[in-house]
Chains A and B, each alone.
Chain A
Amino acid sequence: MASEVREMKSIWFLVGLVLLVMGGLVLLAGVVELFSPSERQTVLADTHPGIWWGAVMLAAGSLFYFKNRK
């Protein structure tokens, strides 16, 4: 959409930004949980899903963000 309107940022850039911010927060929460586990224990908590899923989001976000920066 954005490619034809010079000033407008591409939607894919914004998707990248959202995934970077949210993925970063999820990853950070996972790291905090690793060193200071909360009282609420979840099933499969030992696999630390916040860390690897946050990393997946960061990777996907980076791809969208840097590929559509201009």
Chain B
Amino acid sequence: MATISLGVFDWLVIASYFVFVLGIGYYLKRYTKSENDFFLAGRKNSAWVAGLAFLSANLGALELLGMTGNTFKYGMYVAHFYWIGAIPAMLFLGIYMMPFYYSSKIKSIPGYLKLRFGEKTRVLNGIAFAIMTLLVSGINLYAMALVLRTFLGWDWDVSMWVSALTVAVYVTMSGLMSAIFTEIIQFFLIWFGLFLVAILGIGEIGSITEIMNRLPESFNTLWSTSGDAARNGMEVTWPAIVLGLGFVLSFGYWTTDFLVVQRAFSARDLRAARMTPIIASFFKMAIPFIVILTGLTAIALSNDPGSGFSLLQDGGQVNYDSALPLLIARYYPTGLIGLGVTALLAGFMAGQAGNISAFNTVWTYDIYKSVINREASDSHLLWMGRVATLVGVLISIGTAYWAKSFPSIMDYMQAIFSWVNAPLFATMLLGMFVRWVTPNGAFWGLLAGMGSSFYMFLAVKFQWFEAKILTLSSVQSDMAVNFWRAWWAWLICFAVTILVSLVTKRQEEKDLVGLVKGLTEETLGREVPFLKRPEFFALLSLVALVILNILFW
């Protein structure tokens, strides 16, 4: 494929984005005076600001390209990542977990582990999270440079360094505040920049029904073919979707990944913090109308020889990630091409900024202050946060070059989450809801969960044993293996934590007040009418989720 050439208006749109994000970083610097401003955006955000940032921190371009490509590969089943694989977990976070997080005034998720289980569990999770964040950040950077080179012919090094340094400049100036501002701008750019692809796709084919009619049953349903792995595009059965994706991976990511939860910590009060993931859940439910619809349109067009549409081939392999850029090139004239490229750039850069702002907080509080310099002053921590931002960006660039020399590392993204987040969810769940779980139980359970997940990954990769031992099925995709590995890692962490807790010393109940259900006073706005409570909005979200699943059953 020849690269897409940009016109003057396209360049002007892209240039205006860079001017805006750098200008916002500079503008906000004057309001970033304390470490609280830098790491928690001053804890002044409304639920809407925190909610959109919460969603956008997860909505990177890697996800947009990857999920559109996955839809081409697996069909409608990819919508499970957005619906059952996100919404219940987001609502659980808002209703049940946020009161413990927000009320304990922690600055990070490892900070909660320190209060509940002590220093060693905090440091273990802090280090694992910092490594994971930098790996994901580097892979994100690598993917961006790859997309820009493949479709626009831009120089690999220049596009990577320019965008990484732009992120470094604005996050160093004003920390989480500028990250959140640019994430919200990214949210609007993604909708205005990419939703038009879906609209024009429907316009070309005729209607959503017509798109669905052009697909095989294994690709256009959500649940009706999930009883038999051989009958659906993802080669997965409903227990893997419910247990692996809907429960472990989803709850593990949305309730414990500091990258997203940090946005809720920036809310101005407990109600706003609880509403943060609930507001985000409505918008999360709408994302499939960009990515899934676009992916299904790409399948329908590629099945029609007269359309002239086909995905790129790399060395004989189909490049699924090319679906979205190819549709942008198909439909967008000058000006809109610039907007589409800006939406992808904004997604990549906001994803990068999200990872870096989470990394600088965890490094500063959970590793530096916790292990290296316990007496550090607030102004010193602010300085350290800025240094960590710059160093984090440089390490990300290094990781991106490493990813460039090992292209298959892209496949490891889901695996990385199952190593760190899946077992951590068991630790958090037990920590918040079971008072007799001990610090030693949590530490050894988390270590066993993370270690076993990593071992299962290596074992399947190097064929030490067959994947069917994990999936309990002779038919399975890589995605199904990811779901099942996450489930087993969670279960191992859960079981080891309980077993070790039964034989080790428990904490005194007075030390757990405010951290564990049953020992925490529950004054969650009972005086507010039900129609204004987070519980009501969560119920609305749940009803919408059920309706969507029935509609596309």
Contacts and interface: CB of A to CB of B under 8 A. Distances in A.
Interface of A is mostly: helix
Which of A19, A26, A45, A54 has the most C-beta atoms of chain B within 10 angstroms of its own C-beta?
A26
Contact of A29 (B5, B24, B27, B336): B336
A38 B503 CA distance: 75
Interface of B is mostly: helix
Interface stretch (B183-191, B369-377, B412-420, B459-467): B183-191
Nearest to A9: B27
Interface in B175-219: 180-181, 184-185, 188-189, 192, 196, 200, 203-204
Contacts of B17: 18, 22
A43 B184 contact: no
Interface string A3-28: 11101110100110111011101111
Contacts of B45: 1
B36 interface: no
A26 B185 contact: no
B66 to A, nearest CB: 24
Interface string B366-404: 000000000000000000000000000000000000000
A15 B53 CA distance: 13
A25 B16 contact: yes
Contacts of A57: 192
B185 A43 contact: no
A53 B196 contact: yes
B71 interface: no
Contact of B333 (A7, A25, A49): A49
A44 B203 contact: yes
Interface residues of A, number: 38
B308 to A, nearest CB: 9
Contacts of B196: 49, 53
Nearest to B185: A18
Interface string B294-334: 00000000000000000000000000000000000111111
Contact of A18 (B20, B27, B204): B20
Given A38-B7, A43-B200, A19 B188 contact: yes
Interface string B1-37: 0000101011011001100100010011001000000
Nearest to B46: A1
Contact of B331 (A17, A27, A43, A60): A43
A27 B192 CA distance: 13
B120 interface: no
Contact of A1 (B9, B41, B332): B41
Contacts of B329: 42
Interface of A: 1, 3-5, 7-9, 11, 14-15, 17-19, 21-23, 25-30, 32-33, 38, 40, 42-45, 47, 49-50, 53-54, 56-57, 60
Given A42-B332, A50-B335, A57-B192, 15 more contacts: A4-B44, A11-B49, A11-B184, A14-B20, A15-B185, A19-B192, A22-B13, A22-B339, A25-B9, A25-B16, A29-B10, A33-B334, A40-B334, A53-B336, A60-B192
23 contacts: A1-B44, A5-B42, A5-B44, A7-B31, A11-B184, A14-B185, A22-B16, A22-B342, A25-B12, A26-B339, A29-B335, A29-B336, A33-B333, A38-B333, A40-B334, A42-B329, A42-B331, A42-B332, A44-B331, A49-B331, A50-B334, A57-B192, A60-B192
* Shortest beta-carbon contacts, A-B, top 3: A29-B335, A29-B9, A26-B335
Interface of B: 5, 7, 9-10, 12-13, 16-17, 20, 24, 27-28, 31, 41-42, 44-46, 49, 180-181, 184-185, 188-189, 192, 196, 200, 203-204, 268, 329-336, 338-339, 342
